[in-house]
Structure 1
């Protein structure tokens, strides 16, 4: 795919800030859920969107109102821009997607990119934590005390892998990936909470996490009851009974 397959259009004169936070759709939905929650619970304004002629479009909607699938926001209380990417970007399109984001970043004053990334990898019960994969400059600027352990080994692919690879080039922004294990198919709200807390601590701002914590408790209760029904061989008649989605957060 060519670089022109994706286009970043901005329709706001607001300053974008020096950091771009990226939350993409990936199995477990941790990153996109955290990014979406962030812009919904802080004072934010949509500043643009990413479009493509290379992939089938989706039109997320709320209360009958459609929206762009990949949206850029600016925040009032933090020098951040946030990309909420509800369109799944397949491996073959990741390079041109990263090209478009970096070309846009070069027209702004973006000096670093923080990726919120949940991955369904094998882990133990004591490994429900946030790890990092970061370029040298990002690690020096944002992670000097090793608050988050580095991921021991493996590799990053897709959009996260492309952005990190470009970040190894001096001409590109520094990149830090905040990575946590997820449990697909999702949404893994606990993983989203971990990512949200991590980005708050690094960039020194606060978000009221109570709605996300409440959703986590609802899901935990639901799946616990579902496991009991499956174990007893019975079927529930009202899946997700009492499940509250009135806040409209990304699911």
Structure 2
């Protein structure tokens, strides 16, 4: 899933820089004469600096992310690096909107987003205590939640802890959807509830969607009410 502008700038770039699998997902847009620079997981800062150096040298560079570059993506790192340059060296920069997992998953589920929040459970760059405080605060609201980076091979308990925090405020029958690899060939959607969803079925590329209190099942679709019930 791409915006038209995102496809255009990748196709027109002299150099495409990004995490290897994300560059590969642009394969249908790439030209033989383009230079490709595939990075590895964890090298985000180096990729941003590499892209900036190329742009300062006069190349047209596309620094790609999956989803939307401004939502848990590369835009923040790149803009911080650009801002450190003097005006005479600063290249023209455009942050191109993409399709983030929250809205891509929501479209598959129906129309479940009204007021909602996104949160990442990754504690690689943020202390877990801070992540947990955010989850606890959101649990007490009536916002639908789109949970990014919920679980990985090494982070196996944080999602269960997030569920505990949510269940302290929300009904166990709250609809939950596990949407994995949305928009990709191996896309998988599983419906459950907050009390009984299987955390073992969740991977790094899974978006865990927790419905708000106004959502209801309308035929095969999950639909958010525009007038959710009052609480208190």
Which category of TM-score, normalised to the shorter sequence, fits these structures?
A: 0.3 to 0.5
Name the larger-Rg structure: 2
Higher helix share: 1
TM-score of the two chains, using structure 2 as the length reference = 0.33
Which structure ranks higher in relative contact order (CA pairs < 8 Å, sequence separation ≥ 6)?
1
- Structure 1 length normalisation: TM-score? 0.31
